[in-house]
Amino acid sequence: MNGHTSYGMAVAASWTLQWEYWAILGLVLIIADMILGWNFFVVPIGFASLATAFLLGMTWDFGFINYNAWSHIVLLFAVSSLLCVGILRTFFHNKKETPKDINDY
């Protein structure tokens, strides 16, 4: 392992501990999705990033989250991403009734 790898990992670990990083990431993802027309592909991930920023900023002690460990923050982001995808999918899922096909017997 060379010195650049450990320095890069230290920088990435320090970024994940900052709530400002997660807030900026969330806003960039949501705005990019709206401007580039990605059909709400990364909006749930942007919302999850904002939720992670909120939880990091509030530093509520849930007992199972260590706010000083980057791996716990990334796990928190992953779980909140799954929750946001599930919640937004249930609200914005296409519920149109498909017309009857003439070939259905």
Q: Supply 36's token pair.
A: 């580039």
Rounded-to-integer distance, Cα 10 and Cα 7, Å: 5
Tell whether pTM > 0.85. no
Tokens 């899922």, residue?
93
**Tens of pLDDT, residues 6-59:** 777 777 778 888 899 999 999 999 999 999 988 888 999 999 999 999 988 887
Q: Taking the CB of residue 23, how many other CB atoms lie within 10 A of it?
A: 17
The pLDDT value recorded for residue 11 is 74
25, amino acid identity:
L
Q: Supply 51's token pair.
A: 């939720």
What's the pLDDT band for 96 if we cut at 50, 70, 90? low
The pLDDT value recorded for residue 69 is 82
8 Å CB contact between 33 and 42: yes
